[in-house]
Structure 1
């Protein structure tokens, strides 16, 4: 079924999303932009990363480390932790230094305004992508536990939290960007 240009214009002008009027062009642009970022085009890459994480921290890692001496990872953990701190600081600074970002988050995040009127939309999408990357970087914490033979730290809650945060952060970026989401 082909849609005429006039019908498409009507759809584009009247597309309703979460109670707000949005332009289909804006939605398609955002989808294309976000899909062009690393790890966002398909759920396959994300599910693969989380599945590999689960296999390693719950089965393969402990099995490999069973007869090995615990690794001393202090030299690896120090730059990792520094990168985490700097990256988190960058993300917070991005929101604090972008004009209007905090007031938007306080006033409109639960009730998003029309995307065409929101100059912060791209900044918020970018911040959500950085947050998602941070959640995937957090998976390395558990890998360090396994390699240091601290398997008692690898609790159900710890593994569930890191897996869920990575998956839900990605899903929020992919499908709910600009919308209220409680992770």
Structure 2
């Protein structure tokens, strides 16, 4: 136990990036882990118990404002990733982390922290599900996915705030700009539905995103001269493979095999479902609903639950 403790202290105190050591939540992984556990416990235990005998909240105006803020926030992070490296400064084939305190290196590290912070603001997606009693969206894997993302990003920020693997965050924030804008419009009511006819293409964009992520990461493994840490490359590539698989099944069920829509899985994180009500939106006319929003996971694939 002493050896394990000494290894942990050395890892956290001496091997992390000293520039971020004193930043909020960065001196230790435990506050982030505690936040993730509290989030998961609320969504799977406290929240459902609290709402069991209460009427579901609507939050229409709140959801419009929330999605607008998320859209602007994602756009700002995307811009900062471009300006701090990816717009002409970074190398797309092998980009090491700049650990200096130059203005552009510090700007990239600062952007990575704000991306880490955005993983906490996304907790609100599931909280809204719970308070609106959208139980089919609050699957175990949805909660696990959102619950582990802050912890995963924490390690990247702690040890490698910049460089090659930030490409996935660049793509992710770009998709979030479009995604949260879509949810904002859907939350505004039925009369705006004609402006969001492109939901199918948003799902297709998400698939392209995952292909680009794991392709960009794995090509480093075939470049022995590239000294970027392999563990981050493999970890992010695994995320890309997993979500490409899940979204591919979703896309085929929703758009390639429409006759099987009644059995199609719902609740994929960020997936746009033809049949379910919007996460942050509202039903149109009777019998017609706004597409599902920031969704959950593979539980629905297993259960094949009908959309409520």
TM-score above 0.5: yes
2:30 aligned with 1:44? yes
Distance 1:142 1:79 in 2: 16
Aligned 8 A contact 2:32 2:151 in 1: yes
Compared with structure 1, are the counterparts of its residues 140 and 78 closer, same or farther at alpha carbon in structure 2 (3 Å cutoff)?
Answer: same
2:77 is matched with: 91
Compared with structure 1, are the counterparts of its residues 124 and 67 closer, same or farther at alpha carbon in structure 2 (3 Å cutoff)?
Answer: same
Equivalent of 1:102 in 81, 87, 91: 87
The 3-state SS of whatever aligns with 1:120 is: helix
Aligned 8 A contact 1:91 1:127 in 2: yes
Cα RMSD over matched residues? Answer: 2.5
Please show how residues 75-90 of structure 1 align to structure 2 within 5 Å: 75-90=61-76
Shift of 1:117: 9.4
2:148 is matched with: 164
1:147 is matched with: 131
Compared with structure 1, are the counterparts of its residues 114 and 164 closer, same or farther at alpha carbon in structure 2 (3 Å cutoff)?
Answer: closer
2:164 aligned with 1:177? no
2:20 is matched with: 34
Distance 1:162 1:114 in 2: 29
Distance 2:24 2:97 in 1: 27
Structure 2 unmatched ranges of 5 or more: 1-13, 166-231, 240-308
Higher RCO (CA-CA < 8 Å; seq separation 6+)? 1
2:56 is matched with: 70
Compared with structure 1, are the counterparts of its residues 148 and 50 closer, same or farther at alpha carbon in structure 2 (3 Å cutoff)?
Answer: same
Shift of 1:145: 0.2
2:112 aligned with 1:128? yes
Q: Deviations over 1:102-159 (max 9, x none)?
A: 3343346x34166449753212111111111111111110000000000110123321
Higher helix residue share: 1
1:21 is matched with: none
Distance 2:27 2:83 in 1: 29
1:61 is matched with: 47
Compared with structure 1, are the counterparts of its residues 116 and 150 closer, same or farther at alpha carbon in structure 2 (3 Å cutoff)?
Answer: closer
